[in-house]
Structure 1
C-alpha cells in the first residue's frame, strides 16, 4: 500500500477531490474519498479497463442514467433490526431500485446494439439484484412527495374520507360564525385558521366571552385571541380522533413495508455498492474527458514513459507538457539547474500520474504513455522544516530520507527534491551522490532534483543514470519549463548579468575566478544544448516530411485499391451478363431448332410461309439485345432533350409529376401540376416515359393510401432520432392524403421529445401552424398541426 505521507506530499487528495466533483451520488463521492492507489498489477489493469469502458460509453451515449440514487444502506440496516422506516426513507429505497433498473436496461440496450465492448459493465449489470417487486409495493403506497397515499390500504381510505367529512363540518360551522352579523366587529380577520392542530377563529380581546370555548393562542400584541368556540369543540375532538387513527394506520403500513425491506436488506447493500462503483468509474471517465486525459499502458518492469504529460493540478492552458522516459536503459534521472525552473513540478507530475494510474484514474498525457505499477512510492519534496520538533530543513529532509532508505526496494519509485540541500554545498553534494548510488544500486526507480554543480557530471560516470535539466531562455531571462533529457543544467549567471547591464570587466574578472574544469563543463553543456536544438529541428522537419509521405502513400494505396475493386467488380458484372446472354441465346436457338425439326417431321402438314418467316425472325433475334436497348435509350434521350407539348415530366424541385402545356422557348416551359400551372426552367424538368393507363388501380391506390394514413401519430416511448424520422414521413404521407390537420402524440415526460418535434415543425415549409392540444385533445402531451 502506498504510504500516506507520499499521498499528502504529492497532493493526491486534491486530484481525488476533482474526480469526486463528477460523481452524481453521495455514494460515489464517499467512495472517491476513500480511493487509494492499488499495488496489484492485475487490479490496476482492471480499474483502468473499467474506466476506459465508461469513457467509451460517455463518448457514444454522452451520458449514463444514474439519477435518483441514494445511500439507503443505513435505512436497510435499521429495517433489519426491526426499526420502522419513514415514508421519505422508503421513497429513497424505491428511487434507488428504480435507478438500478433503468441502468440495467441502458446497458442491455448497448448490448443489443453490439457497438461497444464493455464486459466489466455487463458483469456489474448482471450482478445487480432485481428488486422491482418491493419497488412497486412502495410506489403503490407512497407518492413522489413521500406522502402515504389513500390507496395504501382500504382502512386508510375510509379513515381519510371520514376525516375530510368531519373537517368539512368544523369548517362549515366556523365559516357560519365568521360570516355572522357582528363578525366583522368582533373578529380581527374573517378567516378560519389552526392552532395546536385544532380549527380556531381570531377574536378580538374584548369579545373573548362572546363565543366561549378554549383559547389556544394569542397574537404578539395580545389584542387577538385564537379561540375554539364551544360549538365546534366536539367536532374538533372527532377530527383529532380520526387523525390519531390515520397516524396509527400509516405507522402500520410503514412498519409492514419496513419488514419487507428487511427481507431484501442484503440485496440492497449489494445494489448500493454496485451503483456506487459505477458512479466512481463514470466520474473517472468524465474527469478524463474534461481534462483531456488518456489511459496509460501499465507494466511491471518499472518502465515510465509519459508523452507530453502535464501536472494535473495546473491549468492545462498554462502547464507546459513534457515527455519523460526512464526505467529501461537508465533507472534514474537527475535534474539540475536553478530554482523556479520547473524541476519540482516535473517531479510531482511523474509521482501524481503514477498514483492516478494505480487508482484507475486517466492521466493528463497523450496516447502512447506507459506507467509502471509500484509496490511503494516515496517522496521527499518541499520545505520539511519542523519548528515543533526543532529540526532544520536539512535535518527534516534527512529524517525523511533515512526512513525511505530503510523501506524502499527494487519495486519502489523514489522522488527526491533538492537532494542534499540545506547544508554545506560540498558535503551536501557528496551526500546526494552517495544516497543516489544507494538507491540506484538497489534497483529502485528514482528521480532527483538538485542545484549542486557537482552532480552535473554524475550521469556521465554511471550507466544507469541520465542527466536532465529545465530549459532557460537567456533572451527573455525566464525558464521555459521544458525538460531536457540528457543535458545537465547550465549556470546562466554570467549571461543573465551581462544582459542586465553588469560591466563586462566585472564579468570577465568573475570568469577568471572559476576553474578550468568549470569552463570545460559549461562549454560541454553549451555544445550539447546546441546539438540538441539542431537535432530537434531536424527531427521535426523529418517527422513532417515522413507524415506527408505517409499521407500521400495512404491516399495512393486507397485509390489503387478502389480502382482494383471497381475493375474486378466491372469484370465480374460483364462476365455474368455475357453468360446470361449466351445461355438465353442458346435456349432460344434450341427451341426454334426443335420447332423447325418438328415441322420437317410432320410431312403430312404443309408448312405455311408465315410460320417460316416468324421462325426466321426469332432466330435472327437470338443474341445480345444491346442494340435494341441502345436504340430505345437513344429515343428516350432525344425526348429528354426535345420536350413536346403533352409529354409527361417530373418537376425535380417539387418531386411531382406534371404535363407540358406550352413550350415558351428551349429553356422554359409551361407545366401543369395537378391544378397548378407554372413556368419552369428546362433544367428542372425530366422526361417521364408514359405508362399504360390503369385508372381503376390508380384510383384504388390513392384511396388505399389515404385511408391508411391515420389522423394522429403516437410517438410515446420512441427514441429521439426515430421519433423525428417517423414525424418527417408522417407529415409527407398526410400531405399526400390531403389532410389539413393532424395530431402528434409525444407525451409529457421531460419535454425533450416535445421540444424536438416542435423544432422540426417550425422548419417545415408545409406546416402552417401548430399548437398544444386542448383539455379534451391530450393537453401538453399532444401537438396539433395545421398543414398548408
Structure 2
C-alpha cells in the first residue's frame, strides 16, 4: 500500500492506537510497523488469532504478558562482549520467571485459544540459567555463596570490620571530650574522627580533611591505618571476584542467546496480538470473512476514529455491480463513507478486527488507491483539477482486478461538461480493468451514466429536506441529489427563481436575443415559417442563428408582425446520431446509448437502463459521441448493447445450429 493512501485514510493513527495498548517495547514496535497484508490465507489466520485473543479478554482473563523491562538493552548487548551487571541479571531473571508463568497460563487455554496457545508452547523455559542467576544474585547484589573464593574474602572482611568496630569504639571513648561531635566520618573511603582543631595534637594520626570553618579537623588514627589498608585490599579482591562471577554468568547467558531471543520475540508477538484485541474491545471490533473476488458486505460499519458520533453504514458491492456512484449533499457523509470503507479494508488486511455488525465480508486488495481531498500544492502551483488528474493518472497506472479505487467528488475543479466526460471515461476504463470503484459526485450526468451502464450502481446519502440536516444513511440502488433547490427554497429563495433554475437544468440554455428577464416576462413566440425552424435542443453541432424583426407589407396589413430568421452563415447538413452515441433525453432526465439509427419517422432506438426505447430525434441531445467513447471504428458495440449471454449465443449460432437456442431481446417501448 502506498504512503499517500495510508496518510489520507488515517492508518497511522490506527497504528498509534494499537501501540498504546501494548505493554512492551517490542509490542509497541510491531504495532507501529504494522502493514496491510495481501495473502488472504494469512489475513484470515491473523484475524482468527485476534478473535481468540479478544475472546480471552472478553471473558475477563488477565493474560500475564511479560513487560520486557530491560530486555531491549540485554538483547542489544548480548554476544558483544559486554559484561552484564547485577541489575541486568535481575531483569533477565524476572523475564525468565514471567515467561514460565505465561507458558503455564497458556497451557490451560489450549482449548479456548489453540492458535494463540501455540505461540507460548514454542517458548523455552531455561531453568538452568534462571537457577544459576538466582543462586548468584539476589535483590541486585551478588551473594556470598556465588563462589568459594567470594565466601572466603567476605568472611575475612567481616572479621576485619569487627576488629575495626571495636577499635573505633575504644578511640571514641578515649577522645570523646575533644571530638566536635560523636559521629564517625568517612573521608576518601577511610574512617576518621572529627577532632576540634585546638586539640589536634592530642590524637596520633594523619589529618585527611578539615571543615569549611576550619574549626574541625578529620584525623585517621594511627591505630586504624593497618586495619583500613587490610580492608581496602580485601575490597579489591572482592571486586575482582565479583567481576569473575558476572563474567561467568554473562557467558552462560550468551550460550542461551537463541532461546532468549526466541522468547523475547514471542512475547513481543503475543503482546502485539493482545494489543490488537484490546483495541478491538474499545470499538466493538469483529472478524469478517475474507475473499479475493471483490465482494464487500458490511452492516453497521463505523469509522474507527469517529466513535459513536457516526451513523453506522450499511454497504455492499461486488456481486451485481463492482462500481458504485454515491451522490448527495455536501456534509452528507459521502467522504466519510469512502474513508470508512478504505480504512476498514486496510485494518482488516492488517489482521485487525473492524467495527462492523455480525456476518461481514470483505475483499482483499493488493492496492487501495484514493483520490480524496483536493491535494492542492502551493509549491507546485497545481490547481485542484490538476491535482485530481495527477492522482487519477497514478491510479490508472496501477489499477487492476486487485485494486480498490476510492474517488471523492469526480469532475470537480474544472468545466462541468469536460469534467463529466473525462470522469465517465475514467470510470469505464477502471471498470474494464476489473477494479472495484466507489466514487462520489454532484453531477447528474455521472449518476445517469451509472444507472444505464452494466456493472455500475447508484447510491445516495439521505437528507432531511424539512430540517436541512444530513441523515448520513447510505441507500444503495437510489440516485441522490445535491438538494440545492430544497435548501435554497427553505432559506427563502423565491419560487420563480427555483422554477427557472430547474427549467434551465432540464433543457439547457439556448442562444436568444431575449434578455435574462424573459424567465419572468411574457415571450413573443415567432410565427413558424419555412425559414425559421430551429432545433429544439441545440447541441454541439447546432448552427448558431440570430433572429431579426422585419415588417413585410403583407404582415403589416394583417397586423401581425412576423419574426423571420437570418442565418449568420451557410447551414451545413445536420449531423445524424450514430449507433453507440451517448445521448440525453431531458424530458426523462436520463442518458442512454443509441442502439438503432433513425427510422423514416425520425425515431431513434435508445438503450435506457436495459430497456430499448424509441425517442424522436428532436427530443435528444448528443452527450458524448461514439468516436470519443470507443477506441477505433472497428469497436464491437455489441459489448455495450448486448448482454454477455446473448453475445455467447450469437457466437454459437454463427458456428452451428443449436436446437432450442433463443436470444432474448429487451422489451421495446
**TM-score using structure 1 length:** 0.60
Q: C-alpha offsets along residues 464-484 of structure 1, whole Å, 9 cap, x if unaligned?
A: 121222222223322222222
> What's the counterpart of residue 438 of structure 1?
429
Q: Distance in 1 between matches of 2:485 and 2:198?
A: 99
Q: Distance in 1 between matches of 2:325 and 2:92?
A: 56
> What's the counterpart of residue 284 of structure 1?
276
1:125 paired with 2:83, answer no
Q: Figure out how many residues of one structure are paired with residues of the other and give that number.
A: 516
Q: 1:514 to 1:263 in 2, by over 3 A?
A: same
Cα shift at 1:221 = 7.3
SS of the residue aligned with 1:365?
Answer: coil
**Equivalent residues of 2:328, 2:483 under 8 A apart:** no
Q: Distance in 2 between matches of 1:276 and 1:154?
A: 39
Q: C-alpha offsets along residues 649-697 of structure 1, whole Å, 9 cap, x if unaligned?
A: xxxxxxxxxxxxxxxxxxxxxxxxxxxxxxxxxxxxxxxxxxxxxxxxx
SS of the residue aligned with 1:439?
Answer: helix
> What's the counterpart of residue 9 of structure 1?
8
SS of the residue aligned with 1:363?
Answer: coil
Cα shift at 1:61 = 4.9
1:380 paired with 2:379, answer no
Q: Distance in 1 between matches of 2:587 and 2:161?
A: 97
**Equivalent residues of 2:330, 2:482 under 8 A apart:** no
1:485 paired with 2:476, answer yes
1:592-607 equivalences under 5 Å are: none
**Equivalent residues of 1:26, 1:71 under 8 A apart:** no
> What's the counterpart of residue 56 of structure 1?
55
Q: 1:249 to 1:493 in 2, by over 3 A?
A: same
Cα shift at 1:171 = 5.1
> What's the counterpart of residue 22 of structure 1?
21
1:154 paired with 2:148, answer yes
> What's the counterpart of residue 627 of structure 2?
none
287-296 or 121-130, which moves further after superposition? 121-130
Q: Distance in 2 between matches of 1:348 and 1:382?
A: 11
Q: C-alpha offsets along residues 502-530 of structure 1, whole Å, 9 cap, x if unaligned?
A: 444544454454335899999989xxxxx
Q: Distance in 2 between matches of 1:196 and 1:476?
A: 85
1:491-502 equivalences under 5 Å are: 491-502=482-493
Q: 1:523 to 1:434 in 2, by over 3 A?
A: closer
> What's the counterpart of residue 361 of structure 1?
352
Q: Distance in 2 between matches of 1:445 and 1:467?
A: 14
1:636-785 equivalences under 5 Å are: none
Cα shift at 1:179 = 6.1
SS of the residue aligned with 2:299?
Answer: strand
Q: 1:412 aligns with which of 395, 398, 403?
A: 403
Q: Distance in 1 between matches of 2:585 and 2:224?
A: 109
Q: 1:353 to 1:182 in 2, by over 3 A?
A: same
> What's the counterpart of residue 382 of structure 2?
391
> What's the counterpart of residue 136 of structure 2?
141
Q: Distance in 2 between matches of 1:203 and 1:523?
A: 114
Q: Distance in 1 between matches of 2:421 and 2:198?
A: 99
> What's the counterpart of residue 242 of structure 1?
234
SS of the residue aligned with 1:324?
Answer: strand
**Equivalent residues of 1:28, 1:276 under 8 A apart:** yes
SS of the residue aligned with 2:109?
Answer: helix
Q: Distance in 2 between matches of 1:29 and 1:522?
A: 61
Cα shift at 1:163 = 2.9
1:143-542 equivalences under 5 Å are: 143=138, 145-170=139-164, 173-174=167-168, 187=180, 189-200=181-192, 228-314=220-306, 316-516=307-507
SS of the residue aligned with 1:99?
Answer: helix
Q: 1:384 to 1:215 in 2, by over 3 A?
A: farther
Q: 1:154 to 1:322 in 2, by over 3 A?
A: same
Q: C-alpha offsets along residues 403-456 of structure 1, whole Å, 9 cap, x if unaligned?
A: 221122111111122233322333222222222111111001111122333322
Cα shift at 1:234 = 3.7
**Equivalent residues of 1:336, 1:455 under 8 A apart:** no
Q: Distance in 2 between matches of 1:310 and 1:79?
A: 46
Q: 1:454 to 1:190 in 2, by over 3 A?
A: farther
Q: Distance in 2 between matches of 1:391 and 1:216?
A: 79
Q: 1:260 to 1:461 in 2, by over 3 A?
A: same
- The structure, 1 or 2, with the larger RCO (C-alpha pairs under 8 Å, 6+ apart) is 2
Q: Distance in 1 between matches of 2:346 and 2:126?
A: 38
Cα shift at 1:280 = 1.3
Q: Distance in 1 between matches of 2:585 and 2:186?
A: 96
Q: C-alpha offsets along residues 189-238 of structure 1, whole Å, 9 cap, x if unaligned?
A: 54334454444455677777776766667777777766655553443333
Q: Distance in 1 between matches of 2:206 and 2:405?
A: 81
Cα shift at 1:186 = 5.0
Q: 1:203 to 1:452 in 2, by over 3 A?
A: farther
**Equivalent residues of 1:466, 1:486 under 8 A apart:** yes
242-251 or 213-222, which moves further after superposition? 213-222
Q: 1:509 to 1:5 in 2, by over 3 A?
A: closer
SS of the residue aligned with 1:396?
Answer: helix
Q: Distance in 1 between matches of 2:206 and 2:340?
A: 76
**Equivalent residues of 2:323, 2:438 under 8 A apart:** yes
SS of the residue aligned with 1:23?
Answer: coil
Q: Distance in 1 between matches of 2:587 and 2:55?
A: 51
Q: Distance in 2 between matches of 1:497 and 1:220?
A: 88
SS of the residue aligned with 1:110?
Answer: coil
Cα shift at 1:381 = 1.9
RMSD, aligned α-carbons: 3.1
Q: C-alpha offsets along residues 475-501 of structure 1, whole Å, 9 cap, x if unaligned?
A: 332222222222233122222233333
> What's the counterpart of residue 65 of structure 2?
66
Q: 1:472 to 1:228 in 2, by over 3 A?
A: farther
> What's the counterpart of residue 514 of structure 2?
none
> What's the counterpart of residue 524 of structure 2?
none
**Equivalent residues of 2:109, 2:117 under 8 A apart:** no
Q: C-alpha offsets along residues 313-367 of structure 1, whole Å, 9 cap, x if unaligned?
A: 11x2212210111011111122222322222211111111111111111001111
SS of the residue aligned with 2:108?
Answer: helix
Cα shift at 1:379 = 1.8
**Equivalent residues of 1:458, 1:467 under 8 A apart:** no
Q: Distance in 2 between matches of 1:220 and 1:340?
A: 77
Q: 1:394 to 1:255 in 2, by over 3 A?
A: same
Q: C-alpha offsets along residues 96-135 of structure 1, whole Å, 9 cap, x if unaligned?
A: 2222211211122234xx4x2x332333233212312211
